[in-house]
Amino acid sequence: MQPMGNDKPIPGRPTSPFSAAPPVSSPFLSSGPVVGSEKTAATPLLTPFSSGTQATGYRMPAPPPTRFNGPFTPTQPPSFHPTQDAATYQQTQAPRFPPPSQPATPLRGPPVANSVGSFQPQPQVPTFRMSPPHPPAVQSPPGSNIPPPHFLGPRPGPQSPFQTLSASQASPHFRASPYIAQQGVIPPPPIGPPLGVGSREQMPFPHIGQQHVGGGPMQGLVEEFQSLSVGSIPGSLDSGIDAKSLPRPLDGDEEPRILESYPLNCHLRFLRLTTHTVPSSQSLLARWHLPLGAVVTPLAEVPEGEEVPIVNFGTAGVVRCRRCRTYINPYVTFTDAGRKWRCNLCSLLNDVPAEYYCALDATGRRLDIDQRPELSKGSVEFVAPTEYMVRPPMPPSYFFLIDVSVAAVQSGLLEVVATTIKSCLDGLPGSPRTQIGFLTFDSTLHFHNLKSSLSQPQMMVVADLDDVFLPLPDDLLVNLSDSRHVVDAFLDSLPSMFQNSANVESASGPALKAAFMVMSQLGGKLLVFQSTLPSLGIGRLRLRGDDPRVYGTDKEHTLRIPEDPFYKQMAAEFTKHQIAVDIFAFSEKYSDIASLGSLAKYTGGQVYHYPAFQAATHHEKLRYELARDLRRETAWEAVMRIRCGKGVRFTTYHGHFMLRSTDLLALPAVDCDKSFAMQLSLEDTLMTTQTVYFQVALLYTSSSGERRIRVHTAAAPVVTDLSEMYRQADTGAIVSVLSRLAVENTLSHKLEDARQLMQLKLVKSLKEYRTLYAVQHRLGGRFIFPDSLKFLPLYILSLCKSAALRGGYADVLLDERCATGYSMMILPITRMLKLLYPGLYRIDEILTKGTDNLDESLKPLALTSQCLDARGLYIYDDGFSFVIWLGRMLSPDIVNSILGVDLSSFPDLSRDNNISRRMMRILKALREKNRSSYQLCRIIRQDEQPREGFLLLNNLIEDQTPGSSTFVDWILQIYRQSQSS
Amino acid sequence: MVKLTMIARITDGLPLAEGLDDGRDQKDADFYKQQAKLLFKNLSKGHYEASRMSIETGPYYFHYIIEGRVCYLTMCDRSYPKKLAFQYLEDLKNEFERVNGNQIETAARPYAFIKFDTFIQKTKKLYMDTRTQRNLAKLNDELYEVHQIMTRNVQEVLGVGEKLDQVSEMSSRLTSESRIYADKAKDLNRQALIRKWAPVAIVLGVVMVLFWVKTKIW
State which of A615, A632, A649 marks the end of a domain.
A632
User: Domain B2-160 class?
Assistant: alpha beta
Is B115 within 8 Å of A432 when comparing Cβ atoms? yes
Report the percent of chain A where pLDDT is more than 70. 74
Among A165-179, A715-729, A967-981, B131-145, name the most confident range. Answer: A715-729
Return the pLDDT at B51.
81
Is B110 within 8 Å of A314 when comparing Cβ atoms? no
- Omega of the bond prior to A291 within 30 degrees of 0, cis? no
Among A143-152, A625-634, B57-66, B174-183, the minimum mean pLDDT is found in A143-152
Return the pLDDT at A577.
92
The CA distances from residue A333 to A56, A305, A336, A835, in Å, are: 11, 28, 10, 42
Q: Which residue has the higher pLDDT, A973 or B144?
A: A973
Return the pLDDT at B161.
66
Is A315 within 8 Å of B109 when comparing Cβ atoms? no
A520 part of contact set with chain B, CB < 8 Å: no
Q: Is residue A281 part of a domain?
A: no
A477, closest residue in chain B (CA to CA): B21
Chain B hits for A384, Cβ within 8 Å:
109-110
pLDDT band at B145 (very low <50, low <70, confident <90, very high): low
Q: How far is A69 from chain B (nearest CA, A)?
A: 43
Facing residue for A392 by CB, picked from B14, B18, B121: B18
Is B114 within 8 Å of A707 when comparing Cβ atoms? no
- Please state, in angstroms and rounded to a whole number, the distance separating the CA atoms of residues A927 and A921: 10
The answer to whether residue A143 scores a pLDDT higher than 60 is: no
The verdict on A523 and A568 lying in the same domain is: yes
B29 part of contact set with chain A, CB < 8 Å: no
Name the DSSP letter for residue A115.
H
Coil, helix or strand at residue A529: strand
The 3-class secondary structure across B39-71, one letter per residue, is: HHHHHHCCCCCCCEEEEEECCEEEEEEEECCEE
Q: How far is A393 from chain B (nearest CA, A)?
A: 7
φ, ψ of residue A801 to 5 degrees: the values are: -100, 5
Name the DSSP letter for residue A167.
I
B15, closest residue in chain A (CA to CA): A386
Return the pLDDT at A249.
82
- Taking only residues 65 to 124 of chain B, the set having a beta carbon closer than 8 angstroms to any beta carbon of chain A reads 108-111, 114-115, 117-118, 121-122
Coil, helix or strand at residue A461: strand
Most A CBs within 10 Å, among B11, B21, B44, B106, to test the A interface: B21
Q: Which residues contact A588 (CB under 8 A, 6 or more apart)?
A: A407, A611, A612, A613
The continuous run of DSSP H or E covering A474 comes out as: none
A744 part of contact set with chain B, CB < 8 Å: no
Return the pLDDT at B68.
82
Q: Is residue A709 part of a domain?
A: no
A980 part of contact set with chain B, CB < 8 Å: no
For the CA atoms of A900, A902, A905, A910, the dihedral, rounded to the nearest 10 degrees, stands at -50
The answer to whether residue A182 scores a pLDDT higher than 50 is: no
Length of chain A: 981
A517 part of contact set with chain B, CB < 8 Å: no
Q: How many domains is chain A partitioned into structurally?
A: 3
Per the structure, the complete domain to which residue A878 belongs is given by: 838-956
Where in chain B are the domains?
Answer: 2-160
Return the pLDDT at B211.
93
Is A392 within 8 Å of B12 when comparing Cβ atoms? no
Query: In 3D, which of A269, A288, A286, A266 has the Cα closest to residue A277?
Result: A288
The verdict on A331 and A437 lying in the same domain is: no
Query: In 3D, which of B80, B82, B90, B84 has the Cα closest to residue B135?
Result: B84
Please name every residue paired with A449 in a beta bridge, in sequence order, or none if there are none. Answer: A458
- ipTM of this model? 0.72
B109, closest residue in chain A (CA to CA): A385
A317, closest residue in chain B (CA to CA): B109
pLDDT tens per residue, range A793-848: 999 999 999 989 888 777 888 899 999 999 999 999 999 999 999 999 998 888 88
* Mean pLDDT for the stretch of residues B47-67: 83
Most B CBs within 10 Å, among A386, A399, A476, to test the B interface: A386
The 3-class secondary structure across B163-187, one letter per residue, is: HHHHHHHHHHHHHHHHHHHHHHHHH
DSSP for chain B, please give it. -EEEEEEEETTT--EEEE-TTTTTT-TTHHHHHHHHHHHHHHHHTT----SEEEEEETTEEEEEEEETTEEEEEEEETTS-HHHHHHHHHHHHHHHHHHHGGGTTT--STTTTGGGHHHHHHHHHHHH-TTSHHHHHHHH--SS--TTSEEEEHHHHHHHHHHHHHHHHHHHHHHHHHHHHHHHHHHHHHHHHHHHHHHHHHHHHHHHHHHHHHHHH-
Q: Which residue has the higher pLDDT, A2 or B81?
A: B81
Name the DSSP letter for residue A166.
I
State which of A604, A632, A660 marks the end of a domain.
A632
- Please state, in angstroms and rounded to a whole number, the distance separating the CA atoms of residues A9 and A7: 6
Dihedral sign from CA coordinates of A98, A101, A103, A107:
negative
Return the pLDDT at A27.
37
Chain B hits for A392, Cβ within 8 Å:
15, 17-18, 20, 111, 114, 117
Is A395 within 8 Å of B20 when comparing Cβ atoms? yes
Facing residue for A521 by CB, picked from B21, B111, B121: B21
Q: How far is A318 from chain B (nearest CA, A)?
A: 12
Chain B hits for A432, Cβ within 8 Å:
115, 118
Return the pLDDT at A462.
93
Question: Could you count the other beta carbons within 10 Å of the beta carbon of residue B25?
Answer: 8
pLDDT tens per residue, range A61-94: 434 333 334 334 333 333 344 433 444 344 434 3
The CA distances from residue B207 to A93, B36, B194, B201, B214, in Å, are: 104, 82, 19, 10, 10
Question: Could you count the other beta carbons within 10 Å of the beta carbon of residue A39?
Answer: 16
The verdict on A363 and A427 lying in the same domain is: no
Return the pLDDT at B35.
85
pLDDT tens per residue, range A331-379: 999 998 889 999 999 889 999 998 899 889 888 888 888 889 999 999 9
State which of A632, A661, A688 marks the end of a domain.
A632
Return the pLDDT at A929.
87
Question: Is residue A344 a contact partner of residue A264, using CB atoms and an 8 Å limit?
Answer: no
pLDDT band at B173 (very low <50, low <70, confident <90, very high): very high
The answer to whether residue A946 scores a pLDDT higher than 80 is: no
Q: How far is B12 from chain A (nearest CA, A)?
A: 9
pLDDT tens per residue, range A718-742: 999 898 899 889 999 999 999 999 9
The answer to whether residue A745 scores a pLDDT higher than 50 is: yes
| pTM (predicted TM-score) | 0.76
Facing residue for B111 by CB, picked from A315, A393, A522: A393
- Omega of the bond prior to A395 within 30 degrees of 0, cis? no
Query: In 3D, which of A395, A478, A353, A705 has the Cα closest to residue B15?
Result: A705
A315 part of contact set with chain B, CB < 8 Å: yes
Facing residue for B118 by CB, picked from A384, A479, A521: A479
* Mean pLDDT for the stretch of residues B95-115: 87
Q: Is residue A464 part of a domain?
A: yes
Q: Indicate which CATH number applies to the domain containing A863.
A: 3.40.20.10
Is B121 within 8 Å of A479 when comparing Cβ atoms? yes
